[in-house]
Amino acid sequence: MAAMFSLILVLITLGSGLVWLLDHFYLAPKRQEKLAFASQQTSGDLPEEAQEKLVQEPWLVETSKSIFPVIAFVLILRSFLWEPFQIPSGSMMPTLLVGDFILVNKHEYGLRDPVFRYKFWDNNEPQRGDIVVFKYPKDPRIDYIKRVIGLPGDKVVYRNKQLFVQQKCEAGVSPCPELTAINSAKVNSGEFSQNGTPLLRLKEDLMGITHDTLINPRRSEPLRYYYQQQGRRTGEWVVPEGHYFVMGDNRDNSTDGRFWGFVPEENLVGQATGIWISFEFDRDSSSILPGWVPTGVRFNRIGGLQ
């Protein structure tokens, strides 16, 4: 859907821009020539109403000149600077909630054309702990949002709801980094729940990046569904070059890299940097309002992300 919208936006921008150029360099001069010829024929006594009719812009030209600056601005803003996204699920709770509208920095990881996604300008690379929006590897038509856990060359292990990361061993560096347990401390429980089960909220220290996660203490790990990397044990992955390993902060309610593998660099859309508005949709069964109508605004959630 996002890709189709980008294509439509590009086509409208190109179409209206071409009509504007055609009018500027060809049609408008032709209209002026007709006006000059008509004025000569009437010895300069051509009525003002007739003059206006001769130079009047066609509807298509007038509309194109009106919308082109606006559409071009939106295209540049959305494709190369910032794009708004809505959080549709709870996979990134408690960091992001359903109803949060976030801003995604489209130039942080380089610039791509909005249709074919060809990268024409390099910038920074994702860092461990970044919240990224990307094209779902199994269906690039869908945008996903998760947190970067493993960088290219890293080893990631997730067993018994404990995360381990071994950073890439750089050439010429000795000794190589060891497999490190990612520490987490209990914050509280009961603030969030899943199917009636209170979730445990933890503060995780991802090698210097602190953020909160949720786990369901009663839910066992679905090991049989984990992505099985060739030559590796279940729940253990080594990130290939040019790829990233991502997970949701809501660890027991997130379809992430544990289940489908790695995010190719070319699938990255941008870095989520802040919440610009947050709506709540809480309503009881007696409400007659459609489910998509907000019931309130969570002003306290507006701001940057961790």
Q: What is the pLDDT of residues 189-235, one digit of tens each?
A: 778 988 888 999 999 999 999 999 999 998 899 999 999 999 999 99
Predicted confidence (pLDDT) at residue 239 exceeds the cutoff of 60: yes
Predicted confidence (pLDDT) at residue 1 exceeds the cutoff of 70: no
Q: If DSSP codes are grouped into helix, strand and coil, which group holds residue 68?
A: helix
Q: Which residues contact 201 (CB under 8 A, 6 or more apart)?
A: 94, 186, 187, 188, 189, 191, 192, 212, 213, 214
* Distance (Å, whole) CA 192 – CA 172: 46
Residue 251 is predicted with a pLDDT of 96
Q: Which residues contact 176 (CB under 8 A, 6 or more apart)?
A: 169
What b/e readout covers 181-216, taking b as 16+ CB neighbours within 10 angstroms? Answer: ebebeeeeeeebebeeeebbbbebebeeeebbbbbb
Over the stretch 126-177, which tens digit does the pLDDT of each residue have?
999 999 999 999 999 899 999 999 999 999 999 999 999 999 988 777 788 9
Average pLDDT value for residue range 240-254: 97
β-pair partners for 132:
146, 271
Catalytic residue among 6, 16, 79, 91: 91
Catalytic residue among 64, 106, 135, 146: 146
The percent of residues above 90 in pLDDT, for the chain, comes to 65
Residue 293 is predicted with a pLDDT of 76
Predicted confidence (pLDDT) at residue 80 exceeds the cutoff of 80: yes
Over the stretch 267-297, which tens digit does the pLDDT of each residue have?
999 999 999 999 987 777 667 777 677 788 9
Q: If DSSP codes are grouped into helix, strand and coil, which group holds residue 79?
A: helix
Is 91 catalytic? The answer is yes
Task: Pick the closest to residue 3 from 117, 89, 105 (CA basis).
Answer: 117
Residue 204 is predicted with a pLDDT of 97
263 C-beta neighbours (distance < 10 Å), count: 25
Average pLDDT value for residue range 27-47: 80
- CATH homologous superfamily of 87-304: Umud Fragment, subunit A (2.10.109.10)
Minimum mean pLDDT range among 29-33, 41-45, 217-221: 41-45
The structural domains of the chain, with segments of one domain joined by +, span: 2-81, 87-304
Q: Which residues contact 246 (CB under 8 A, 6 or more apart)?
A: 132, 134, 144, 146, 147, 148, 149, 256, 257, 263
Contact 89, 98 (CB under 8 A): yes
Sign of CA dihedral 18, 21, 26, 30: positive
Task: Pick the closest to residue 136 from 21, 293, 248, 46 (CA basis).
Answer: 248
Helices 48-55, 28-41: axis angle to 10 degrees equals 150
Q: Which residues contact 117 (CB under 8 A, 6 or more apart)?
A: 266
**Structure token digits, residue 103:** 């801003």
Task: Pick the closest to residue 148 from 273, 264, 247, 268 (CA basis).
Answer: 247
65: burial class by Cβ within 10 Å (0-12, 13-18, 19+)?
Answer: middle
Is 174 catalytic? The answer is no
Over the stretch 9-24, which tens digit does the pLDDT of each residue have?
899 999 999 999 999 9
pLDDT band at residue 2 under the 50/70/90 scheme: low
Predicted confidence (pLDDT) at residue 238 exceeds the cutoff of 90: yes
